[in-house]
Amino acid sequence: MKQYKNVSDVEKQYKFDLEDILQGKKFDYWVEEFQKHLELTLKNKDSKYDNLKNYVESFELGIRTGIISNKISNYINNYTNRELNNPQYKELENKVNQLVDDFNKNFGSETVRFFKNIDKVKSWLDSDELKPYRKLLEELIDEYDHKLDDNIEEYLTKTSKANPNYEGVFTLLTDSEIDYGFVLDGKGKKHKLNPVTRRKYLKSDDKILRKNTVLQWNKSIVKHKESLANLLFQQFKTLNVEAKVRNYTSAVNMLTSKDKVDDELLQILFSKVQSLNKTIAKYRNAFKKFYELKFKEKYHPRYDSSRDLVKVKTEYTIEEMQQIVLDSLKPFGNEYYETVNKALKENWVDYMTIENKVSGAYSIGETYGIDKKYILMNFDGQFESVETLAHELGHSLHSYFSDKNNNFYDSQYPIFLAEIASIFNEEMLYDHLLKTNKNDKFKFQLVEKMIDGFIGVVQRQIIWANYEYSLYDAIDKYTVNESYDSISKLYFENLKKYTNKKLKYEPNFLIDCVNVPHFYYGFYVYKYAIGQLVSNYFFSKYKKEGKEYLQYYINNFLSKGGSDYPLEILKNVGVDLKSDEFYQIGFSYFEELVDEYIKLGNKIFKNK
């Protein structure tokens, strides 16, 4: 697939149209407007609490400021991500950052001001004028029990820039400092190992190369195991201390309080996912059987699990990809379909791989006030690009319906809900392709991808979440220390709950316990598992009830944005995360996939 040298070489229809953000005005116009709004916010920071009228006006000012901020940040960030080496956008970013830094220096702690006036705010809370902002205010009031002394809060605000950046040190160490060296293949030839080549080598037909890749990769990281263990321990300990100081029962309680997630839900989630062990073992055994039939050699799960059992050559043009995705999403009805069509025709998507373009894909955040919910991707002509487009359109259409039906504050849906729509779109894509494709090998490959995706999102993320939960608890109780030996043993004990196999403690192959970036971003990976299970629930309801259910889903899920707490939004569409029925539906979907996989595999890999 062609990689372009410069963005100017890319055909217009394959680039997103970021100038639309500015609505026919110059970028400097929006910066000046932003500055005026920040100055007005500073001027009113205390007087807004004088009376209800002023307070309501402060929210209206906040909305106008937020929309301008969305325009500026999306304009700069998306241009930057397409041309990482273009200094023009860095200059624009510096200009805006200077404004924001000056504002923050003078603005001080809004938390302190809010709680000084909390009695006034409570007396206004039931007024019609504040109705659009009630959820936001209730969230702030709930934080009162966890507020520190005014002087301490002010100090924390002013010194926040000097806080230890454990995540930054981790990223520097794992991205820049670790040299993965070289690996030998079966002919004794050396190959450079890095995160990109690793994936390629693990799929190789050369078993020596596969084995050496696994061993060398682990060896390279294990050299730094004590540094990584100490770093993670300090990160978790810092959050434990903050939770205690702020009167939370635990760090996990502090990190889940905003979503109103309680310990009971987490324990149910951990327990239910452990019940998948039997079905996952059934899939693993089938993979082993098909592997040995295909390659006529013994299967070693540590070295061979990434190898492709079938290779189906599928290449797509952008136009073919667009049509497949459109056809897959047609059941969602007229408005959804036409908005997707509009996105593809009116330059919402930046497709092509360009030198110095950011890798991966995303649908933009902070979309309120921006008509086009932009998508950046790196099209390579493979099936993964088709999946990516369907997935990111799920995010963009969620933003479209959320922004259309909510105010600025309520339109911002949390990460708890963010992956549901995108995974649902993937399931619609798979369903369409399984119905319209007659090639058994393609179907087998697709079902395997769906199964691996489910395991990766549901089981793996819950293993990590359960481990994080246990690590926070163990640090709090002084039953674990900062050594790799101590942390890896705790990880191992956690891992045993998620398999029916008898595991042997091999510390060098437990390096994930200190080498997962997610661990540095708060306690949240369990939300990905919930996203997958909820999308399974929605998809199962659609298959049972037909297209009418999809309109219900649009009206009662996508259109609700962040207008209520995540669990309440889900409850209102019939999803009870504590009920057995919810898990039965999600797991039945997975079990059916495994049965289909075995059926197709038995057809393809016959005993000869």
Residues 450-481 pLDDT 10s: 999 999 999 999 999 999 999 999 999 999 99
pLDDT at position 80 is: 95
pLDDT at position 118 is: 96
* Over residues 128-150, mean pLDDT: 93
E strands within 364-506?
Answer: 375-376
Task: Identify the residue with better confidence: 178 or 38.
Answer: 38
pLDDT at position 154 is: 83
**Model confidence band, residue 553 (pLDDT cutoffs 50, 70, 90):** very high
pLDDT at position 1 is: 65
* Over residues 71-95, mean pLDDT: 95
Q: How many residues does the chain have?
A: 608
Q: What gap in Å lies between CA 364 and CA 356, rounded to an integer?
A: 19
Supply the CATH classification number for the domain 225-312+444-525+583-608.
1.10.1370.20
Supply the CATH classification number for the domain 7-162.
1.20.140
- Give which of 35, 52, 37 is closest to 133, Cα–Cα: 52
- C-alpha dihedral sign at 23, 26, 30, 32: negative
* Over residues 167-180, mean pLDDT: 89
pLDDT at 134 over 90: yes
Fold of the CATH domain 179-223: Helix Hairpins (1.10.287)
pLDDT at position 607 is: 60
> Which residues on adjacent β-strands are paired with residue 191?
183
**Percent of all residues in the chain with a pLDDT value above 90, rounded to a whole number:** 91
pLDDT at 443 over 80: yes
> Which residues on adjacent β-strands are paired with residue 354?
4
Q: What gap in Å lies between CA 587 and CA 581, rounded to an integer?
A: 10
Contact 594, 281 (CB under 8 A): no
* Over residues 176-192, mean pLDDT: 94
pLDDT at 113 over 60: yes
pLDDT at 161 over 80: no
Burial of 296 (0-12, 13-18, 19+ CB in 10 A): exposed
Which of 83, 392, 419, 468 is an active site residue? 392
* Over residues 319-347, mean pLDDT: 98
**Model confidence band, residue 417 (pLDDT cutoffs 50, 70, 90):** very high
> Cα 344 to chain center, whole Å?
23
**Percent of all residues in the chain with a pLDDT value above 70, rounded to a whole number:** 100
Structure tokens at 528: 């990905």
**Model confidence band, residue 306 (pLDDT cutoffs 50, 70, 90):** very high
* Over residues 546-566, mean pLDDT: 97
Tell me the Cα Rg of the chain: 26
pLDDT at position 2 is: 73
* Over residues 286-300, mean pLDDT: 97
The pTM of this model reads 0.93
The CA–CA distances, whole Å, from 172 to 26, 50, 175, 231, 517 equal 37, 48, 5, 12, 11
* Over residues 76-95, mean pLDDT: 94
pLDDT at 381 over 60: yes
Contact 553, 402 (CB under 8 A): no
pLDDT at position 423 is: 97
pLDDT at 390 over 80: yes
**Model confidence band, residue 3 (pLDDT cutoffs 50, 70, 90):** confident
Residue 91 is a catalytic residue:
no
Q: What gap in Å lies between CA 462 and CA 113, rounded to an integer?
A: 39
pLDDT at position 153 is: 86
Mean pLDDT across the chain, nearest whole number?
95
The CA–CA distances, whole Å, from 440 to 426, 536, 596 equal 20, 24, 11
Give the pLDDT confidence of 214-224 residue by residue, as tens digits: 999 999 999 99
pLDDT at position 155 is: 87
Residue 486 phi/psi, 5-degree rounding, is -65, -45
Parse the chain into domains and list their residue ranges. 7-162, 179-223, 225-312+444-525+583-608, 318-443+527-582
Any idea which of 29-33, 314-318, 325-329 has the lowest mean pLDDT? Answer: 314-318
Q: What gap in Å lies between CA 430 and CA 310, rounded to an integer?
A: 18
Q: What gap in Å lies between CA 381 and CA 84, rounded to an integer?
A: 23
